[in-house]
Structures are given as structure tokens and as C-alpha cells.
Structure 1
Amino acid sequence: MIRPSHSPPRSDASLRLTVDRNPQSAPTASFNESCSDKTQGCVSTAFLAALAAGLLLATGCAQRPAASAGSYAVIAPQSTEADIIRQAARVVPAPRQLRWQQLELTAFFHFGVNTFTNREWGTGKESSQIFNPTQLDARQWVRVAKEAGIKQVILTAKHHDGFCLWPSKDTEHSVKNSPWKNGHGDVVREVADACRAEGVGFGIYLSPWDMNSPLYGTPAYNDFFINQLTELLTNYGQVDEVWFDGANGEGPNGKKQEYDFARWYAHIRKLQPQATIAVMGPDVRWVGTETGYGRETEWSVVPADNLDQATVAAGSQQAVAFKPQGDMRGAVLGGREQLRNAKGLAWYPAETDVSIRPGWFYHPAENDQVKSPEKLLDIYYNSVGRNGVLLLNIPPDTRGLIHDSDVRALQGWKKLRDETFTQNLAAGARVQAPGRRPQALLDGKYNTYWTTSGRDTAAVLELTLPESRTFDVLLLQENIAVGQRIERFALEVQQQGQWQPVAEGTTVGYKRLLRFAPVTASKVRLRILSSRLNPTLSELGLYKGPTN
């Protein structure tokens, strides 16, 4: 398990992390269990505060008044619980966070020396000579992902073993000393070019832990890391996401590193200001499990208790001291109970990651263990359909290609989604709803939305369909550009003159999908039972999944 250190931070806001888990441990299935072998880490609320500090520093928002709508808010000392809840309803994503949320589906490409050693974690002692894909085709990787509906991919440019998939000037442990293309290859270049050609977003994963670098565990390593970031962020065009994890084991000298995250965040903002920084970063957090399943109740606004009015006004928020106060793996992170004593709030949405295979790197023995289309669909409902973004790992094989087993699973998954979501069965319905713009619920445009009038925080929306229709999926979308607000809702259908319950839920956020037993009806109503300020809905959909 990765955790923030319980000692106070240094004045430069660098963070000390420790690792106490077995790399071979099994993935977790619960938010309250230990973290898995993957290295995103168990992020505490205090650590979130540090990340929020990095966000403030890097977005240049330190002078914004606390009462203004933005991606963070400082809570005044005299605020009541009601005040805090109202303020939380006005916190909104930064433009880069909104773009990221709207991707819905992203992919990881875990590729490197581990692919050729048949291991999940390397040692940093591998010879560069083992890296030699015979048919590497990054365009195939990106095309396979795009055809599955994935909008952005992230390449493991360097994993913990320190082997670089680009010819870095700062280490000999890279593709430049491999037999692949006689040392003249650059995997990062090929993936970046493929993304541009296919119109897919491009991101890089750069492991802070480096088992190969002799500088690891010394202050000079942070400079080394800045140099590697600079190479990746200045030589490959636009980078849409930079992905860090929190693994912090020993380097070749037996030492651990004090990571200077605040400096790294500021450097990324300078070189690629549009890029989201995940998941040990200020923009996106890890959902807390690698099963692909998010929370039933997922708030994107969470406490950030190092936000302080005086330091925000002084523009020195990054120097605030903080202490651990719980973690980010609870069943609910941004509910009323969690916000009641908050000193600050931040928009910090959840990314849900999972591999299409049991492992994160390619292993031949797992070719018959690829997740089925039906399993991937279930993961989709429980990640994207729970106000998250799904990061699906698709590891290239030793040839440098996505294996046929993975391709078939992805194609089947896309087919199931298309069969379900191509036609909104609520289309053509007559909508009766209090408030403004009820027609926006069915116009297929995210930027238009229905909302109540006055101070109404509850409402009943009734739909009369053109004829009786059978459906088993409900889709709801809030317009998160004005905040996440809905706390509880219920779906009902009218049968034989009586309203019958069908499904109920808590948070909506960017997207909520609920499945239930098929029902046939011509009258449907959605009851919004509780909301923070006026609820908003951009879309309402009724769908029928494919019959097995």
C-alpha cells in the first residue's frame, strides 16, 4: 500500500511517500481494503490538499475571490453546514478537467522491458538488448483503441525499472541502446504520431520511482526527473495527460526519494498547460480500486483542508503545512458528512482503472484470460456510469502489436455498447417538468440543460412516450460545468394507472447509468428527491440492452 508519510511536509511542499506492499499482491475489490500491486497509491485527504495546492499554484487562480465559482473554494471560518453545501454546489471543473471527463474512455499502453522479461515489475538491471519488438505498429495500437470508442491513450514512457521508450539524453537505459531499429527507434514518437493521425488524445506515464538511476534517493534526482519531463513535454507536440503514481521503493543505492511533486506540477503547467495531471496530481484522483468498479455515490467535489484564505490571497498556497486526515478510499468522499467540517473544497474527479488482462504488462499465458465483452460492459456501467472515467489497460505483446484476443474482446464490447445506446427510447416524448428548458433533456446536446426555478431543490419530471416501449437502462447527465448537485433520485413508470418504482440512485455527476429488469410503459417519471441548490440535467435517456 502506498501512503503519504505521517511527518509534516517540507517547506517546498515536496511529498515523502513510502511503500509497504508486495508487488505480487492481488488487486483489491473494495475501497476499504489494502491497495493492489499497482502504484497509484492510497491517497489521503491531506495528500489531496497538497494536490489542490499544486492546482492553485499552477492555474494562477490564487487571486480569485473565494465566493466565485471555480475549481476550488475556501470555506470561511463562520460558515454553517448549509453554507458549505451551497458552496460545494458552485465548485466546477477547470476546462482541462471538463475535457478529461467528457472523454469517458481512455486507454493505458503498458509496454517496456517487462514485456520481454514476462514480469510485472522490473529490477532496473535489465539489459537494453532485450527490448526488440519485431513488428511494432503504434498506429495499430491507437486504431484498435479508437475503434473501441476510446478517446485518449497513455503510454508508459518509463516504468519503475527506469527503461525509457524514447532516446533520453539523461540515461543510457533506453531504446537508444536496444537492437530495435538499431538504436534509432522512439516508441513515444511513434505513439504520439499515431494519436495525431487518428485524432486521439495522447498522454504519457512517467514513473517517479527509477530502479536504474544512480541519482535516485538524492536531491539531484528531482532535477533529473525535470529533465525527463522536459524532453517528453517539448519534443512530441501536444500532451493531453501526464500520469504519475506514488510508488517509492529503493533505487540502486538503497535509498528512497523525496519527490518534489509541487515543482513537477508547476513545470507541467508551464510546458503543457492544457494537460491533466493524474493520479498523484492536482486534476484527477485514483478511485481507490483497480477492479474497474467505482462508487455507488461518487462526488467530484471533495474536502481540501489545506485551502486557507490568507495564503490563497498571498499567492503562497503551495507552502501551507498540513497533516493526514483519513484517506480517499471511503465509500463516500464528498457527502454532507464529509463536507461538514471542511476548510476548503476542490473539484477532484475519479479515474477508474483496470487491465483487460490479469496483468498490466503482456504475458503469453494470459491470452485466454482476456476480459469478455460482457465483463467489459459491466465495468463500463460501473465506472463511466458512476461519474468516472475508465482507464482500460491494453498491453502490446512482444511483437509490438495488440494481441488478437484483446482486439476481439474490444470489438465485442463496442458492439454491445452500440446495440444498447444507439437509440434513446425517450426520444419524441412529451416532457412535463417545472422550471426552465425541459426540452433540453432530449435534445442530445450536453451544453443545454433543464433546471428548476427559484430555490427548488426537488422536482418531478414526467415523460409521456409516443407509445409503450420496453427499456432496462436509465441514463442521466448533470451539466457539471455549473456544478454537481443531485444527491438522490428515483425512476418510476405508470402501469395500470399506478406509479411503480423501477430504480433509484444517489449521485449523478457527468454520467449515471442504472440497469434494472426490463419494463414496458408509455409514462415515465423521474423524481429528484434531493439536490444541492437547483438541480440540472443535460440529458435523460431510456435504453434497452441486447438480449443474451
Structure 2
Amino acid sequence: MKKNRLLRYLLILSFICTNFLADRYANAQSYKDAASLYSLQQKFVDLKFGMFIHFNIPTYANQDWPDPDLSPAVFNPTKLDCDQWAKAAKSAHMTYGCLTTKHHSGFCIWDTKTTDYNVMHSPLKKDVVREFVNAFRKNGLKVMLYFSILDTHHRLRPNHITPADVKYIEAQLTELLTNYGPIEALIIDGWDAPWSRISYDQIPFEEIYEHIKSLQPNCLVMDLNSAKYPAGALFYSDIKSYEQNAGQHISKETNKLPALSCYPLQQNWFWKTSFPTTPVKDPQKLVNDDIIPFNNAYCNFILNVAPNRDGLIDDNALAALKKIGELWKDDGNYPTLPKQVLPIISHNLAKNKFAESSWSDDMNIMDFGNDDDFGTSWISNYEVKHPWYEVDLGKMQPFNMLVVTEGGKPVINKYRIEYFANNQWKPLLTGDDTKRVKIHRFETVKGSKVRILIDDFSNTPSIAEFGVYDEKR
């Protein structure tokens, strides 16, 4: 394994030194313009309905998470036909497809130079990503790609991430975003999720995000992180993404964010031997319960269809897609997305730092207000008339954004933010944002502590997360 890892690092260094360094940041500024990002988000929502395609080495293991050292020799779709996939998507009036370029076990289905664990070392010896993008574009469909940060074959696991691992990820993303034409969106998985545990600190989100945008400024970045982050803001994602079968459900009544909801047509994400004889989900229910109401709630619906080991979509899935196309088509109604603020992408300086507060019960003390867990909260004692919450950053440092997420239904009406510098507290801003997630961007200041003074509230205040950020601008 050490020899393989050394070889991988040498391949990465070689790749980085020979590809696109001169103009990496040539177009990197447009994504920092809220109006430009809003336009891309509106276009994404307007796509309405697409096909997720889970097709990778798990297809041949009868498990979604196979042995990470499964031999490439098993990957052999002898009848691979991406044109069939595209025509099936068209039959359902889908507008795009998204393919799993690399899942959690690390097998790459494109011609990558970063690792030998790829499709070119399988019996197929054909770039599946190339076949996919060519077929979908030929059929008038847009192209998106899925990419997993968690990579168990290459031992990219929590608490074992090195700088070379980050460069490895960047090299793979460079290949995907420079060799296959315009990519509408990149769906990222296995990152800062409760089950993957690879944090945005171990693999820095802002660095990867800027790397993607430097290569394709118009590529939307989605991280499947709704298991952790609340619905009130775009935390580490250009699009709020929900995985329905994992219990993540968008509010069709209250959502105001550009969103994506994903769901498998069959029982699982990847093909199983039972699929050809197992009923798929009811097309009528998918239309009435998902496509139509989601589209009316600024949410794009992506339905997963898993090709079989021949590289073809099974007959029962083809029939369901055709039936969806008979029941639904784009009605030309495109609800105008509410104006958006830029997503939160930077490192939280307040995470797990020493905190103080006014009186709270022992089970809800200040430590819960910046523990990187939105399921826990600091809760003021109900007798406190002027509650406050404070985080010590540990040293003087610059910051230019603050995000206060209340612990439940919003009750804080008016508040002040102050920062500590030169041995005194200085006023920063006065707020009256009554949403659960309160985002404030401002000119950079330097301080060693930050606090919120809560002046008006309708019930006992609580703070799930108090975030302080030095955002690159």
C-alpha cells in the first residue's frame, strides 16, 4: 500500500505540473458575484427533472458499498450503451443526466492519470465518462457529474488526510472539469457527513470550491450535506441538496432556496440482481408527489436509474420512465427563485473555541453553541432578561462574516454584535433578522472575541451554532 500511495503522489505531482497552471485563476471571480450565481441557480431550478446514474464498481458487487479492494477485472459492461440511457431520459422528458464518476470505494470510470484503480485497467478499457457526456449531449441533454470525497480504496478516511490527498482530489477534479466540456453541476458526496466524518477542515471546502470555480466558473457545486446543515441557508453548497431515502425532505411549503431532491427509481442506488424482477416506484406517485410539487418549490428532482452489469437499463425501469413521460412534461412555468445570498464556504473560526454566556442550565451550556453540531444548542435560562453569548477566537485575527443559527423556531428579534480589540468591546452591527439563520457580511475587522447581545426576543433564546468567518473576497 505504501508503494502504491507513493506512486499515486508522483502521478499527481506530474499531472499538476503539466496542466493548466498558467490560467487556473483566469476566470475565478465570477462566482463571487451574487447576481451571477443567482442566474445559474435559477437555470438549474428551471431544469426541473433529471436522471441520476449510479453505475460504477458497486454494480458488480450487489452492494452499494463493496470491498474497496475489489479487482477492476469485475467491471465489464459488455453491452455498454450510454445512448440507451440518454434516450430513456428523453422519454421521461428529463433535461440532464448525472453520472457517478467515482463512488466511495474509489474506482474511477474515466481515463485518469492519478491512479491505476480505474476503468482503463478493467476488461472494458473504455472511458465511461466520455461515453456518457457524448451520448447525453448528442441527445440534447445537459451533463452533470457526481464525485465522492470519501475514497476507501485510496485510504482517504477521516483523521488520515494528508496535503497530498487534497492535491489528489484536486488533480482528479481538474481532469473531470477540463477534459469533458462544460459541466453544469458537480454533485459531491462523502464530505462532512455524519457517516463519512471527513470534515471541511481536513479537506478544506473553500480551497476545493475555488479550485472547481477556477476551472469552470459556471459549474454549480453541490455537497450532499443536508443530514447535518439546516434548511435555512446554503451551507457549503450552491444548491441545497436532499436525499429522500436517507430521510432528508424539503419543505414544499416554506423552501426559498435553490434545491435538489434525489431518489432512486429502484430499491437502491446501484443495480442489484433482484432489480429486473422487482417492481420499481410508481410513476404516477413520482409525478404527483415529487416532480410537480418540488418544481413549484424551487426544487429540481433527480431520479436515479441504475444500469445493469451489461451497461444497460432494465426493461422495467425503461417502461417506468416512458410512463412518466406520458404523465408529465414541462409546462413552461418557471417560478422566479427568491433572491439569494452567497453560500457559506469558509472555515468557521469559532468552531469548538472557548465560549462564555449569560446564565443557562447545565445541560444546555455555552459549549453547545459552537460545537459544529446543529442538533445541540446553548439555551438561555428563561429568567435572564438580557442574554448574551460570546466566543473567544484565541488570538487577534481578521473576520468579515458572522452566522448565527438559532436552535429551533426563531425567537430572536433584535440583537447587537460586538468584537473585542485593543482591550475593549467595539460595536460591529445591529441586527433585526428574524430568520432562523442570520447571515451578516461586513468589511473586515480584527478581534480576539465576538459576542451577540440579545435585546428583544419572543421566547427563550437558543443558539445552535455561532459561526465566525474570514471569507476570501
**Under a length normalisation based on structure 2, what TM-score does the superposition of the two structures give?**
0.58
**2:251 is the counterpart of 1:295:** yes
The reply to whether residue 381 of structure 1 matches residue 292 of structure 2 is yes
Matched, 1:358 2:270: no
Counterpart of 1:45? none
2:175 equivalent in structure 1:
231
Letter in 2 for 1:395: A
3-state secondary structure, aligned to 1:154: strand
Distance in 1 (alpha carbons) for counterparts of 2:137 and 2:75: 25
Q: Which residue of 2 aligns with 1:159?
A: 103
Partner of 1:397: 308
Distance 1:177 1:232 in 2: 18
Distance 1:478 1:155, change over 3 A: closer
The CA RMSD over aligned residues, in Å, is 2.9
AA aligned to 1:130 is V
Identity of aligned residues (%): 30
The 8 Å contact of residues 48 and 291 in structure 2, kept in 1 or not, is answered as no
Q: Indicate which of 181, 194, 200 corresponds to 2:135.
A: 194
Which position in structure 2 is the counterpart of 1:309? Answer: none
Report the Cα offset of residue 215 of structure 1: 5.9
How far apart are residue 296 of structure 1 and its match?
A: 3.0
Q: What is the CA-CA distance between 1:246 and the residue it aligns to?
A: 3.5
> C-alpha offsets along residues 58-78 of structure 1, whole Å, 9 cap, x if unaligned?
7233xxxxxxxx45xxxxxxx
Deviations 1:35-74 (A, max 9, x none): xxxxxxxxxxxxxxxxxxxxx977233xxxxxxxx45xxx
Q: 1:360-399: CA deviations, max 9, x gaps?
A: 0011213322112222223223422433110110111111
Q: Structure 2: where are the runs of 5+ without partners?
A: 1-27, 225-235, 342-473
Are residues 1:243 and 2:187 paired?
yes
Residues 1:127 and 1:255: Cα distance change in structure 2 (over 3 Å): farther
Give the Cα separation in 2 of the matches to 1:122 and 1:358.
17
Asked if 1:204 is matched to 2:119, the reply is no
Quick one: distance in 2 between partners of 1:102 and 1:131?
Answer: 36
Query: Of residues 216, 221, 238 in structure 2, which corresponds to 1:283?
Result: 238
Q: Report the AA paired with residue 280 of structure 2.
A: V
8 Å Cα contact 2:42/2:336 also seen in 1 = no
| 1:372 counterpart = 2:328 | no
Q: Which residue of 2 aligns with 1:99?
A: 43
Q: 1:292 to 1:409 in 2, by over 3 A?
A: farther
> Which position in structure 1 is the counterpart of 2:215?
271
Aligned match of 2:121: 177
Provide the C-alpha distance between the structure 1 equivalents of 2:109 and 2:279, rounded to a whole number of angstroms.
27
Deviation of 1:226 (Å): 0.1
Distance 1:259 1:133 in 2: 33
- C-alpha deviation, 1:288, in angstroms: 5.9
Match of 1:413 among 324, 328, 341: 324
| TM-score calculated relative to the size of structure 1 | 0.50
Distance 1:149 1:239 in 2: 20
Distance 1:58 1:224, change over 3 A: farther
SS of alignment partner, residue 149 of structure 1: coil
Cα distance in 2 for partners of 1:121, 1:127 equals 14
Aligned to 1:42: none
Q: d(CA) in 2 for partners of 1:403 and 1:99? A: 31
Q: Which amino acid aligns with 1:144?
A: A
Q: Which amino acid aligns with 2:144?
A: G
From 25, 32, 46, give the equivalent of 1:60. Answer: 32
Aligned mates of 1:371, 1:204 — CA distance in 2: 24
Q: Secondary structure at the match of 1:236?
A: coil
Residue pair 1:276, 1:283 contacting (<8 A) in 2 also: yes
Distance 1:262 1:140 in 2: 38
What secondary structure does 2:244 align onto? coil
Cα gap change, 1:277 to 1:401, in 2 (>3 Å)? same
Which amino acid counterpart does residue 252 of structure 2 have in structure 1? E
- CA shift for structure 1 position 124: 1.4
* In structure 2, distance between residues paired with 1:153 and 1:292: 22
Structure 2 SS opposite 1:96: helix
Shift in CA distance, 139/198, structure 1 to aligned 2, threshold 3 Å: same
Q: What is the rounded CA distance, in whole Å, between the counterparts of 2:129 and 2:248 in structure 1?
A: 26
Q: What amino acid maps onto 1:286 in structure 2? A: S
Q: In structure 2, how many angstroms separate the alpha carbons of the residues matched to 1:155 and 1:234?
A: 16
Amino acid at match of 1:384: N
Greater relative contact order (Cα < 8 A, sep 6+): 1
What are the superposed Cα offsets for residues 154-212 of structure 1, whole Å, 9 maximum, x if unpaired?
100000000000121111111111011xx2x0000000111221111111111000011
Spell out the pairing of 1:101-116 with structure 2 (5 A cutoff).
101-116=45-60
